[in-house]
Amino acid sequence: MTPRTRRPARRPVVTSLVTVGALALTGCASDAGRDAGSADTSTSPDGAAAVSEKSGATGANAASTTAETARETARARAEVKKLGTRRLAAQLVVPDSGSVDAGVRGISGGYGGVVVMRSALTRGSSVASDAKKANGRYSAAMRSSGRAWPAFIAIDQEGGPVTRIDAPLTRFPAAMALGAVKDSGLATHVGRASGAELAGLGFTVVMAPDADVTTPGDPTIGVRSPGSDPARVARTALAYVAGYRQAGIVPVVKHFPGHGAVAADTHKGTAVLTASKAALEKRDLVPFREAAAAKVPAVMTAHIVTKAVDRTRPASQSRAVTTGLLRRQLGFSGLIVTDALNMGAATAGLRPGEETVRAIEAGADVALMPPDPAAAVTALEKAVSSGRLSRGRLEESAVRMIVALRARKPAVPAAAPGSNHAVARRVAAASITQIGGTCGGRLVGKAVTVSGGTPADRAEFTRAVRSRGVRVGGAGATRVALLGGGAYRAGSGSASGRRTGTGDVLVALDVPYGLASGTAKARLATYGRTPATFDALADVLVGKAKAPGRLPVAVGSSKIGAGCG
């Protein structure tokens, strides 16, 4: 989720309070044209408040949780009944905050929250304190508007290439690094650590983790995915979810029904998932089926056309995919959030606001970042007055949203920015993967030269090896090539940097596919470029540590699971 364009979030004309609804409908593409006006209460919003994933809540504890959820649902239903239709429609819209002042005005006017982008925050060391102040203002605006539930204050903070706030927050590698470690519980530590720092800044929602099953031809997800093995992806994603929930932040599992086998970029235009239904069942849907069974709080729908289910509309606007497949077939009962609706694949050929009506009509609960938020509210209001959507449909979505936000119950205290570097170092040390050279032996001489990567990559590499007594430059130095390509730059249509190189040692900082060929005596994958990553890499290069990671994707003749670990 990254915006293609941004317009200031205009204040909707509202007079009351807020909400949104979600339903369950049919499971086949031929139902895409059925009436969307009547609410289907066969899928309740209760799943949004489930407290833990496969946590063993049984007997009295399970009964207590169910009773509490029922009370919270009834409370939310009573609250949304009091909202005027426009205010109810606005609750389901969560725009890009734009400036902080614009975000405050939008929430005061009825929007359900904001998505905080880096551009709304100042640069430099004060970014964390600025974010905390801004989020405090958003929460205050929610209360002052008369709504007694939390604001949906969200951030795209996956780790790796999708990190909206870096320093002073702890920098974590991409999800593929967690897919490379033996212990999936490390992902729980990362989710808890990152979530606690975000919660300390006042965020209530994180747009993570990524549950896409990546493939070699995937240009947009790459290292954001835990890997190419569906079971591994599912385990890692659910471990992340557990950590985020312990931190008291709502995780949004994305991008349903799976973006890892799509060759195009939804930021730019139509993207099609061509896989058969059998392939979907075997690969892409596996993590989401597990997520639904584990009652994760929220799932994000992608703007990809899923040909096996609906050949015309993107998943985020398809009843057959959103309601039929996710709600009905997979049994997901939590909050459904669209990917950013200002992306090219969501807006193509539609008048302003229509993309939002179609998303809610399809079964989504939260319309994220529509290109014209005020037009989206107006379009929803008109859809109700015309009978295209029922008010009850919007109410069900609003109830889910409120219940999910109120269900946050932190099991750990909020954390100060940058207080979890030990967790980042642990992940980096556990994920470095070696598929060539002597395992555990020294891979470089007393001096090295470094090529490839970005200037920042080379600077971090130089710092790390020098601190371990290795000179940089000079005759006879071991040649280390950093393969920096493969990390997608949203909306650019291409990956960053180059994915190939030559040297005595090849190091892939992003996707590891560039390690498939060459004559290097050692090939390593790091799946990230954080300071902790380079420190762990340097330890392996000088023989201080063994590379314990296992490939989470196949690289040439090296299969998933290959490595020194």
Catalytic site positions:
267, 339
Q: Which residues pair with 94 in a beta bridge?
A: 368
Can you give the length of the chain in residues? 565
Question: Quick check: 417 and 125 in contact, CB under 8 A?
Answer: no
CA atoms within 13 A of residue 390's CA, in its CB half-sphere = 14
Q: How many CB atoms lie within 10 A of CB 411?
A: 12
The burial class, CB within 10 Å (0-12 / 13-18 / 19+), for 349 is: exposed
Distance CA 374, CA 283 (A): 39
Q: What is each CA distance from 73 to 147, 199, 247, in whole angstroms?
A: 15, 24, 23
Distance CA 191, CA 189 (A): 6
The two tokens of residue 198 are 């975000």
Q: What is each CA distance from 476 to 462, 471, 473, 479, 501, in whole angstroms?
A: 17, 11, 9, 9, 19
Q: How far is CA 186 from the centre of its chain?
A: 18
Distance CA 318, CA 56 (A): 35
Amino acid at 4: R
Nearest to 517 by CA among 557, 565, 464: 557
The two tokens of residue 220 are 């947009």
> Given the DSSP bridges, would you call strands 162-163 and 157-159 parallel, antiparallel or unpaired?
antiparallel
Q: Which residues pair with 434 in a beta bridge?
A: 524
Radius of gyration of the chain (CA): 23
Question: Quick check: 374 and 52 in contact, CB under 8 A?
Answer: no
What is Dmax (Cα atoms) for the chain?
Answer: 78
